[in-house]
Amino acid sequence: MPDALIYGAGAIGSFMGYLLSEGTPDGGMVDDVGLLGRERHIKKIKESGLEVVLPDGAKSIRFRHCFSSLDEFSSSSFRPELVVVCIKTYSLPALCRELAASGLLDGRLSNAVFVLLMNGMGNRDAFAPLSLPAPRLLEGITAMGVKFAGEGRVELKGKGRTAIEARLDEGMQKHLQQRLAEKGFKVDFPADYAVQQWNKLFVNAVINPITALTGEENGAILSPLLQGTARQIVREAVAVAIREGISADEAGILELVNSVAGKTAANTSSMLQDVLKGRMTEIDSINGYVVRLAGRHGLVAPVNEAMVALVKSMGQRKAQ
């Protein structure tokens, strides 16, 4: 069974760390998954474990391999064969520079497979400077609603689909499926991954900026007051997707967006979590991506453009 490193143990990353770890009794020590994340979060996990709050109660999971920097990982003995990258899209260029400078890609990580399990589009392109061979670089999506509930603690707020490109090695696929199934979760490897990735983009293009702007949880999207805006965002994004060769229809996509908003109704979207922490958001690789592609195809996407401008204007102008 391959050992895995979660590169970016925030809300989703930490939760993935729990899902990928070998089932251990509450309080047991995980050896096969390492977490690399922000210093204070990792410090708390080292001290008292990762607390994962699930609908049926909380679990505390201790990880043997916890790192708050790549240097710390480099000087450890942990040798992951799988690296699941869960950082923010805008941090990818810095991560690539850091990895290239570390020499790890010629050493400890020379055979590791990288799965970019992140929001937004264009993530593979951002990883291009590392020239990883295709079988070692894959993209994934997850519509899991996970809230960062304080250092060392994450809360599952809604189950959503997780999918990774079908090109992933069969052995790894089975491993991931097994690990997630042990915890009552699923991961798919769909042949039409590009369509699924666009579906995730539609979902994020509606839920993330609207919740970031209103300060509401995901379920707010279902309010009749906001459905018109949701429909407009979807309409513009679907027009772009069709030009990109993706088949999508407005009514079906709005239904999908609403169903994810319903399933994750109690979640604080990742963009709202970012705004609340005064951090930069992923708006450029979500609605910004739609706007850029619209321009390339001679289309306009004014509502998506407004989302970009408004989110960027929210108390984080310095960060953007």
Q: Which residues bind ligand KPL (CB under 6 A)?
A: 119, 143, 145, 160, 203-204, 207-208, 218, 260, 264, 267, 269-270
Beta carbon nearer to ligand KPL, 30 or 238:
238
Long-range contact pairs involving 60-64 (C-beta distance under 8 Å, separation at least 24): 60/26, 60/27, 61/17, 61/18, 61/21, 61/24, 61/27, 61/28, 61/30, 62/27, 62/28, 62/29, 62/30, 63/17, 63/21, 63/29, 63/30, 63/33, 63/34, 63/35, 64/29, 64/30, 64/31, 64/34
Q: How far is the CB of 182 from ligand KPL (least distance, A)?
A: 23
Tell the smallest beta-carbon distance from residue 316 to ligand KPL (Å): 16
Which residue's CB is nearer to ligand KPL, number 269 or number 287?
269
Q: Minimal distance in Å, beta carbon 282 to ligand KPL?
A: 8
Cβ at position 147, least distance to ligand KPL in Å:
9
Smallest separation (angstroms) from ligand KPL to the CB of 118:
9
Q: Contact at 8 Å (CB) between 220 and 210?
A: yes
Tokens of 259: 């169903």
Closer residue to ligand KPL (CB): 68 or 208: 208
Q: Considering beta carbons, is residue 208 or 287 the nearer one to ligand KPL?
A: 208
CA neighbor of 85 nearest in space, from 121, 114, 112, 113: 114
Q: Which residue is nearest to ligand KPL (CB)?
A: 270
Q: Which one, 34 or 160, has the nearer CB to ligand KPL?
A: 160
